[in-house]
């Protein structure tokens, strides 16, 4: 089957033109799984299907390709532009996806207003002619930055309309934090001069803010307003911290984004370091998924997607890889000239090294985290298969528990762990109507019902056989549970886990004790504890509902049947309590007298 598909694809590849363009790889359902650009479509697309050794990440993508489409463009630049837009629109699985997904905060100043406000935003409005500063990552706390601005400059922080002058000033005016443009206490020119100070501050000139805060701190101290003086001191400390991030060797007011790439096997990390006003305002790391054939393509694709997401492009970029097409794309997208430095000379080489060093540390931590995740999931499953002698790898584990607080409202839970992780959409609950309090018999009943549901094939949760069933308890509980599988002819592994010593019992009568730090045991404990929690919660909710129904039945003329009708309509008692008489009467079977009785009961 796969050979036929590849033969058809190769035949289609032979007909491709040798011109620039964009190609789209499609899966068996016609979904786009990868978008790429090419200087020569025929050469590039055919390279995927040649019998040559490929990177594993590329081979994975090729194995899922069932067809492809292509678009011819007039130039490589047009291909890059189209590729960027299509990736942003379709978000294909094997393209670079910005895993972080954040919209980072910016500071926005709208100079179109007579009296501009300074605001924090995560959304950049296209062509609104406002000034944006940022993005601010982890290095600079934007909340602290706004505190400095509000303490140092007399700019309004309200959003009231200034169409008509207000009659009185707000508190900020009286404590010296606003020029009160709302009452026209200042001219447009005076206010704009204050805004210019804020702009200079955000571009890196910290001297004005430092002087203002020092003066305020002294005044507050002399007035023995020590709490306010301490606030000003803390603001000064923040300015000192920002100043310490000044990048040596850069001219003042320069804005730069630095892109560093580090790779290890199939894992790639791009680190973005943002410098604004010659000061480092943030470093952010991105795990990237890609099927690119080269590091240069990876960086190019990342940069285009990054700026489509972040909107604002500085005039200076540092990255190891560049091309005329990338420069032209950035110029066209940003509307201004772009300088790209390769990082081969000072100070740009230090900036690139710094970004790559951050990326390396992040990559190493990610690899360690992935290794630990594998130990807790696939590693734990392999441990269980080996130590317990299971017939298959327990990819799907079902855990069952019985709950019967006080011997009433007996229920059972079924929880599912797939690949070592919770699969909550597969959880199911059972009500048990058997007389008496016999957990052995109840478990036998629940497992029999589960098998019957599998045979019906109507519920997706029951549609797949488990690789392993886990119940709480010792050998007797296990024997009763196993008998239900045996009676149904189900060839599925089943074990029990006893709480006290965490002993694992097998159907052949053997007992296995694993060390408390064994990941296989921890996985079983997670399944056991989750099934217990789920059963207890269901039992409590059931008891609460019974109590609520009993309360309703105590109201004159409200029968059990009417209670069921009300719950079917309103779902919860709180909704019944808050309903009006008219809303209660709108329920079929609830007359005026009954509705009034219910309403009076909860509103007296």
* Per-residue confidence (pLDDT) for residue 139, from 0 to 100: 52
* Per-residue confidence (pLDDT) for residue 249, from 0 to 100: 58
Give residue 518's pLDDT band: very low, low, confident or very high (50, 70, 90).
Answer: very high
Give the residue with greater pLDDT, 51 vs 386: 386
Q: Is 131 in contact with 156 (CB distance < 8 Å)?
A: no
Give residue 415's pLDDT band: very low, low, confident or very high (50, 70, 90).
Answer: very high
Mean of pLDDT values over 552-568 = 78
HSE-CB of 480 using CA atoms within 13 angstroms: 15
3-state SS string over 51-115? Answer: CCCCCHHHHHHHHCCCEEEEEECCCHHHHHHHHHHHHHHHCCCCCCCCCCCCCCCEEEECCCCCC
Q: What angle do CA 213, 215, 216 make, to 5 degrees?
A: 65
Q: How far is CA 358 from CA 183, 283, 288, 319, in A?
A: 50, 8, 15, 15
Give residue 103's pLDDT band: very low, low, confident or very high (50, 70, 90).
Answer: low
Of all residues in the chain, the percent with pLDDT exceeding 70 is 91
* Per-residue confidence (pLDDT) for residue 100, from 0 to 100: 44
pLDDT > 50? residue 101: no
Range with the poorest average pLDDT among 393-407, 489-503, 590-604: 590-604
Given 3.40.190, 3.30.420, 3.30.1490, 3.40.50, which CATH number is that of 256-372?
Answer: 3.30.420
pLDDT > 50? residue 217: yes
In Å, how far from its chain's centre is CA 378?
A: 23
If you search the block for the tokens 């210019």, which residue do you land on? 196
Mean of pLDDT values over 262-291 = 80
pLDDT > 70? residue 407: no
If you search the block for the tokens 């189209």, which residue do you land on? 82
Give residue 500's pLDDT band: very low, low, confident or very high (50, 70, 90).
Answer: confident
Range with the poorest average pLDDT among 73-87, 115-129, 166-180, 372-386: 115-129
pLDDT > 70? residue 13: yes
Mean of pLDDT values over 138-163 = 78
Give residue 421's pLDDT band: very low, low, confident or very high (50, 70, 90).
Answer: very high
Topology alike, domains 256-372 and 380-542:
yes
Give every strand in the sheet of 279-288, ordered side by side: 279-288, 267-276, 256-264, 316-319, 339-341
Q: Is 42 in contact with 67 (CB distance < 8 Å)?
A: no
Given 1.10.540.10, 3.30.470.20, 3.20.20.370, 1.10.150.20, which CATH number is that of 554-603?
Answer: 1.10.150.20
* Per-residue confidence (pLDDT) for residue 469, from 0 to 100: 96
Any idea where the domains of the chain sit in the sequence? 2-90, 106-243, 256-372, 380-542, 554-603
Q: Is 408 in contact with 422 (CB distance < 8 Å)?
A: no
* Per-residue confidence (pLDDT) for residue 1, from 0 to 100: 52
Give residue 251's pLDDT band: very low, low, confident or very high (50, 70, 90).
Answer: low
Return d(Cα 416, Cα 437) in angstroms, integer.
26
DSSP class per residue in 374-438 = HHHTHHHHHHHHHHHT-SS--SEEEEEEEE-GGG-S-EEEEEEEETTEE-GGG-EEEE---SS--
* Per-residue confidence (pLDDT) for residue 527, from 0 to 100: 96
pLDDT > 60? residue 116: yes
Q: Check residue 420 and give left, alpha or beta (phi > 0: left; psi -120 to 50: alpha).
A: left
Contacts of residue 262, Cβ cutoff 8 Å, sequence gap at least 6? 268, 269, 271, 356, 359, 360, 363
pLDDT > 90? residue 109: no
Give the residue with greater pLDDT, 256 vs 461: 256
Q: What is the pLDDT of residues 301-312, one digit of tens each?
A: 889 888 887 778
Please list the residues that pair with 283 across neighbouring strands: 273
In this prediction the pTM is 0.56
Give the residue with greater pLDDT, 349 vs 564: 349
* Per-residue confidence (pLDDT) for residue 6, from 0 to 100: 84
Range with the poorest average pLDDT among 96-110, 162-176, 434-448, 470-484: 96-110
pLDDT > 90? residue 123: no
Q: Where are the alpha helices (DSSP H) in 435-518?
A: 439-456, 475-488
For 2-90, CATH gives 3.40.1440.10
CATH architecture of the domain 380-542 equals 2-Layer Sandwich (3.30)
Torsion, Cα 70 75 76 77, to 10 degrees, reads: -110
pLDDT > 50? residue 145: yes
């Amino acid at each position: 089957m796969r050979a036929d598909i590849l033969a058809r694809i190769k035949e289609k590849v032979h007909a491709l033109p040798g011109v620039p363009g964009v190609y789209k790889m499609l899966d068996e359902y016609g979904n786009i799984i990868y978008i790429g650009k090419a200087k020569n479509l025929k050469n590039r697309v055919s390279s995927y299907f040649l019998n040559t050794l490929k990177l594993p990440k590329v081979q994975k993508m090729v194995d899922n390709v069932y067809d492809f489409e292509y678009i011819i463009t007039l130039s490589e630049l047009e291909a890059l532009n189209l590729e960027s837009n299509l990736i942003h629109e379709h978000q294909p699985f094997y393209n670079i996806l910005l895993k972080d997904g954040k919209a980072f905060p910016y500071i926005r100043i709208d100079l179109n207003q007579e009296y501009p406000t300074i605001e924090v935003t995560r959304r950049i409005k296209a062509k609104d002619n406002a000034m944006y500063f940022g993005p601010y990552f982890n290095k600079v706390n934007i909340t602290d930055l706004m505190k400095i601005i509000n303490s140092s400059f007399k700019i309004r922080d309200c959003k009231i309309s200034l169409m008509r002058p207000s009659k009185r000033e707000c508190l900020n005016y009286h404590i010296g934090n606003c020029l009160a443009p709302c009452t026209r206490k200042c001219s447009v020119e005076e206010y704009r001069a204050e805004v210019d100070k804020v702009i200079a501050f955000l571009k890196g000139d910290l001297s004005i803010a430092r002087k203002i805060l020092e003066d305020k701190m002294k005044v507050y101290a002399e007035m023995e307003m020590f709490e306010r003086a301490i606030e000003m001191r803390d603001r000064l400390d923040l300015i000192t911290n920002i100043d310490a991030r000044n990048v040596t060797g850069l001219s003042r007011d320069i804005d730069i984004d630095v892109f560093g790439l580090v790779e290890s096997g199939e894992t790639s990390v791009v680190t973005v370091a943002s410098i604004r006003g010659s000061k480092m305002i943030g470093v952010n790391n991105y795990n990237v998924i890609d099927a690119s054939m080269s590091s240069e393509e990876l960086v190019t694709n990342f940069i285009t997607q990054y700026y489509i997401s972040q909107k604002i492009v500085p005039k200076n970029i540092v990255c190891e890889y560049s091309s005329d097409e990338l420069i032209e794309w950035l110029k066209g997208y940003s509307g201004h000239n772009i300088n790209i430095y390769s990082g081969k000379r000072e100070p740009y080489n230090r900036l690139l090294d710094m970004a790559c060093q951050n990326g390396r540390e992040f990559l190493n931590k990610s690899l360690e985290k992935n290794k630990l995740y594998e130990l807790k999931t696939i590693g734990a499953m392999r441990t269980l298969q080996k130590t317990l002698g299971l017939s298959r790898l327990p990819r799907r584990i079902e855990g069952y528990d019985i709950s019967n607080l006080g011997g009433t409202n007996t229920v059972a839970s079924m929880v599912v762990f797939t690949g070592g992780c919770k699969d909550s959409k597969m959880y199911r609950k059972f009500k048990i109507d058997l007389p008496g309090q016999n957990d052995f018999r109840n478990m036998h009943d629940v497992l029999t019902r589960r098998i019957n549901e599998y045979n019906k094939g109507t519920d997706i949760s029951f549609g797949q056989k488990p690789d392993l069933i886990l119940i709480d308890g010792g050998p007797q509980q296990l024997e009763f549970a196993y008998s239900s599988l045996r009676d149904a002819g189900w060839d599925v592994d089943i074990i029990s886990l006893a709480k006290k010593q965490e002993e694992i019992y097998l159907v052949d009568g053997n007992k296995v004790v694993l060390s408390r730090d064994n990941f296989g045991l921890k996985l079983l404990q997670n399944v056991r504890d989750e099934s217990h929690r789920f059963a207890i919660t269901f039992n409590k909710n059931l008891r609460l509902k019974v109590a609520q129904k009993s309360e309703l039945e105590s109201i004159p003329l409200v029968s059990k049947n009417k209670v069921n009708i009300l719950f079917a309509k309103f779902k919860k008692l709180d909704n019944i309590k808050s309903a009006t008489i008219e809303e209660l009467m709108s329920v079929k079977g609830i007359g005026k007298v009954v509705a009034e009785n219910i309403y009076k009961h909860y509103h007296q």
